[in-house]
Structure 1
């Protein structure tokens, strides 16, 4: 007898509170795990949700995305032929990479994008603000020990070498300059970038500057 459990009410995708625009609904007779898929990977799978105007809204758990498709709330924008497939008694549903709402949803205006390590790295394109090599750390331009703020304007991506050499000194003391002035990013898609480190390549065209 098969050890794989069947759900009579729900799909097994990890659901994060408040991540979806629309509430998930139970699906009857749907196999919780796609054949051959690892439960952990399935739980971490995310699908990009776009507004009807193609503006990025959120990265949904796969379960939410599939429910929205089956309920007619969204359409597939970018399929993923190599992605997981879930099965019900009557059909197979491939989990897409990007979906779009059929109806427009108004997003409340939010003035400032929260600064996270992921968003900062995307803003600086994963390049050191001092030498231009691959960045793997975050540095405070004016060190916090010398009154520097933990803010978009005072934080930059940096390589470990530059970060170590700079230590708690000012740029003027080292004769260094920044490759670009650090500024807070603007745009709804930056809120999404602030929570995601690794992006599905299919999302890049919808996320604009910072996602490439």
Structure 2
């Protein structure tokens, strides 16, 4: 049936849950429905796609893990030097490890094998290669997850609740 975006009382995105949990929150009166997709759980009860909690919930900051999968997603599964999109993508250190470049969000990009070999152990400037997008740390783990759903063609109604998508 689908996923549901949960908003805090202040309309900021809080998490993504399954439709059953969302329906339970609605029935218990802990949340209100903001958006639905036209499908129904039963007559007169539309299936929610966005709900808002009635009371504000404080949430601690959650770090996004630096993984190959997350870097590929951040970079749109394309080489950050030539734009190649395919199966043969690698990870490249902007400042090479041999020059004490670390494993950080700001120093690793997706690159095709050809560009990675061409760049070698040089910086992009030394190799005369220009980065298409400057690497940066994603905003938040939730922003990252919501972006995956929206950019994947699902849940376009979530777009208006998240900045920067």
Give deviations 1:119-177, integer Å, cap 9, x for gaps.
5456445654223465774522348774654321122244xxxx121234133553212
Q: Is the partner of 1:79 in helix, strand or coil?
A: strand
State TM-score, norm by structure 2.
Answer: 0.73
**1 CA distance for matches of 2:51 and 2:26?**
8
1:202 paired with 2:153, answer no
Count the aligned residue pairs.
154
1:79 paired with 2:28, answer no
- Displacement, 1:49? 0.3
**2 CA distance for matches of 1:115 and 1:203?**
25
Which structure has the bigger radius of gyration?
Answer: 1
1:130 paired with 2:81, answer yes
1:56 paired with 2:13, answer yes
1:102 aligns with one of 28, 43, 54 = 54
**2 CA distance for matches of 1:204 and 1:145?**
38
Structure 1 match to 2:115 = 166
Q: What runs of 5+ residues in structure 1 fail to find an aligned partner?
A: 1-41
Which is worse superposed, 145-154 or 200-209? 145-154
- Displacement, 1:185? 2.8
| Partners of 1:166 and 1:174 within 8 A in 2 | no
Q: What runs of 5+ residues in structure 2 fail to find an aligned partner?
A: none
State TM-score, norm by structure 1.
Answer: 0.59
